[in-house]
Each structure stands twice: as structure tokens, then as C-alpha cells.
Amino acid sequence: MAQALKVAVCGGGRGGTAIAADLTFMGCSVNLFELPQFKRSIEPLIERGGVELSGDTQSGKTGFAKLNKITTDAAEAIRGVKLIFLPVPAFGHQVFFEAIAPHLEAGQNIVVNTGYWACLRFAPMLKKLGIFDDVKLAEAMILPYASNIVGPAQTHIHRTKKEFIALSAFPAVKTDAILELVQQVYPQHQKVPNVLWTSMGNLNTPIHAPFTVPIAGMLFDRFTDGHQGGCKFYGEATTPGANLVSAYDRERLAIGKALDVELQTEEELMFRLYGYKGKDLAEAMRKSEHADMFTDVKFHHGLILEDLRYFYVSLAQLGEQLGIPTPVTQAIVTVMGVMVGIDYRDGATMLSDIGLAGLNKDQIIRFVTEGKV
């Protein structure tokens, strides 16, 4: 059935190019859309007409994948497609939604691969345009690939998460229909009760900031190969960092339990999705295949901003609203902000932005399940 599936992938970065190329190998007709202001970044793709893909693919194939279309025209990209993937960081969600929303067609299905309350953040935009009831909106807990752009029009997949990726629509009553489509190409996506599970179960949020705090000076200040900052982030994982992850996780899991969300610790998720294990999470990371991967300082700033501004702040608010203390979560936001000189609370996603402000447990669950309180 994948051979008949028409797909648009929004974003020409590491995640978007991996998805677009691998879906092409699976027999899909794939349009890749990038924002006009980033056209230069996809010029090698346009010139070649596709992506050279290597590594641990879902399709089992590697080599050159010729895409159906590569464009900076949103209307052209999504016209006539059945499924739209949005695999960009949380801070890129807004501009892509603004670009595609006016051109959405009845019956289309949108999957935000990177969570961070995406469904709850952008349902109001679709409602305002009068198209929310005509399309289906869903989010996944994480991208299907750990991948990197390794050259012009060249992407390498280090690992495909083949066992489990949580997925839910908003409202949750629409999940089955969109999951049926997604599983044609990514059967590892599995239904969870609602989007609380996908955003709160995001594999990335417990890792970046807690492991950065103990090594922040080295990561942000030292010079390597003439470039400021960066490190082999997994290879530099420390036990104090692992302890901070565990403390944050206890707060995240307590909030999840209060909302009937079954969550796993970060250590459990790392073992489930990647097979990483050790005496603690730090040792598991140092032993992992990611241990020698270098993360540059600019990219790492983006990871921290994504996690704190688009999740930690709202998670702490949710805890306060439910009567669950979150001193560690709040301290990480504050300390990271002081260390790097960024106010992560400024412009952060708030409960009022996602429709959860002032709601009790039952109202929150009813809202994410049925779309109304």
C-alpha cells in the first residue's frame, strides 16, 4: 500500500531528508518542502533531484533516492498528498504550520514527528482557519531516525528506532485512522491514549539539559579545531548528570501518574529503543554507538532551547496546577539560563497556549481525548 501513498515531508534537515529518502525507497511518492528563506540549504538536493542515503534504514535500502518533488512552495508540496510529516525542531513548528495551513485539503493527515505539545499548540490555528475538522492532526514522541547530513545531498542514518514510537492524534478519538496510514511505512508507531503520552514520553527531554549542567563550561567555552564549544556529548556523560536526569524523571513521572500517563524512565527508554545499558545511564551513554559523535555548540544550544522553552516550563506549570512539586525541573531551567545568558521562560510554551490552564485532571484527560472539556 505504501506504493500508492503520496507524502509531503516538511523540512530539509537531517530528519526530513532521512524520512523523504527512506519513504521513497519504500515506494512512496514524496515531496520535500523547505521554507523559502532556507532555499540555499536544499540547493544540492534540487540539483541532484534527491538524497543519497546510507546507514540503518527502515526500508533496508541505501543509495540515491530520487524524490518526486523538492520545492519551497508550500501549496505545491502538499497538493494532493495524503500524509504530511513535520520532522523539524519545536522552534520550527510555527513557521511550517503557518506555511502549510492555508493550503491544507480535506482528508489530509499531519504528523508532527517531534512532539513538544505540537497538536495542542497548533490545533487553535487550524480551528481559526476553519479546517480543523477536515484534517487529522497527530504527533509522535520522537523521530524514527537518529541521522545526520554528512555531505551535499547526503544523509546518514545512525539508527532507526524500530521497536516503539508512541503516536496519538488530537483529539485522541482520531488516532486509529491516522495510525493506519503511518503504519504502512512505520509499523513501529503504536497508539497511546492521548497526546499527553507523546509529549511527556519524549525521549529527548530528560537527556540534554541535565547532562549538560555538569559539563557546561567545557561544552560551551572550550575551542576545538578552531571552533568554539561542542563535545562528544554522549561520550562525556557523567554520573552527576545521570543523577540529575533521574531527579528530573521522578518529577516527570509523578506528573504523568497524576494524569494516568504511563511513562518509562530515561534509562528504561534508552535500553528499549537503543539497547543501551550500564551501571547507570551515564555509563550506558559512554558505551553507546553515539559516544564518539561530536555535537557542536550551536546545535546543542538548539537542543537545550527546544527542551526547556517548549517543554520544561510548561511541565513545571502542569505540576503546580496538579499540586506536584517540580523543584528540579524549575532549577534546571533557571541554572541553564544563568549559565548561558538566556531566559528560557521568555517566549516559552505555557499551559494557556495549549488549552490546559486551569483544568483539573479529569478535564485535561477529557480535553485531549475528545477535544473539549
Average model confidence (pLDDT) across the chain: 94
Compute the distance between CA of residue 73 and CA of residue 23 in angstroms, rounded to an integer: 21
Q: At what angle do helices 239-258 and 327-340 cross, to 10 degrees?
A: 130
Q: Return the bridge partners of 159, or none.
A: 146
Average pLDDT rounded to a whole number, residues 96-123: 97
Q: Which percentage of the chain shows pLDDT scores above 70?
A: 98
For the chain, how are helix, strand and coil distributed in percent, rounded to 5? 45, 15, 35
The pLDDT tens digits for 139-195 are 999 999 989 999 999 999 998 998 899 999 999 999 999 999 999 999 999 999 999
- Does domain 208-370 fall under CATH 3.30.700.30? My reply is no
Least confident of 34-48, 150-164, 277-291, 340-354: 277-291
Least confident of 54-58, 70-74, 134-138, 272-276: 272-276
Query: What pLDDT, on a 0 to 100 scale, did the predictor assign at position 294?
Result: 82
User: Domain-by-domain residue ranges, the chain?
Assistant: 2-200, 208-370
pLDDT at 37 over 90: yes
**Strands of 141-259, DSSP E:** 145-151, 154-160, 165-169, 189-191, 223-224, 227-228
Label the pairing between strands 29-33 and 69-71.
parallel
2-200 CATH fold: Rossmann fold (3.40.50)
Count Cβ atoms below 10 Å from residue 163 Cβ, excluding itself: 11
Assigned C-alpha cell, 345: 521562560
User: Please, how many CA atoms are within 13 Å of residue 266, restricted to the half-sphere of its CB?
Assistant: 26
Query: What pLDDT, on a 0 to 100 scale, did the predictor assign at position 220?
Result: 86
Assess whether the previous peptide bond of 171 is cis (omega < 30° from 0): yes
Query: What pLDDT, on a 0 to 100 scale, did the predictor assign at position 2?
Result: 57
Q: State CA 58 to chain mean position distance.
A: 18
What's the pTM value of the predicted model, to 2 decimals?
A: 0.94
Query: What pLDDT, on a 0 to 100 scale, did the predictor assign at position 170?
Result: 98
Higher pLDDT, 237 or 318: 318
pLDDT at 1 over 70: no
Average pLDDT rounded to a whole number, residues 87-112: 97
Query: What pLDDT, on a 0 to 100 scale, did the predictor assign at position 227?
Result: 65
Average pLDDT rounded to a whole number, residues 60-76: 98
Query: What pLDDT, on a 0 to 100 scale, did the predictor assign at position 271?
Result: 84
pLDDT at 48 over 90: yes
Q: Which percentage of the chain shows pLDDT scores above 90?
A: 83
3-state secondary structure of 23: helix
Higher pLDDT, 101 or 230: 101
Compute the distance between CA of residue 117 and CA of residue 124 in angstroms, rounded to an integer: 12
Asked whether this chain's domains 2-200 and 208-370 adopt the same fold, the reply is no
Q: What is the largest CA-CA distance in the chain?
A: 55
The pLDDT tens digits for 197-247 are 999 999 899 999 999 999 998 888 876 666 667 788 888 899 999 999 999
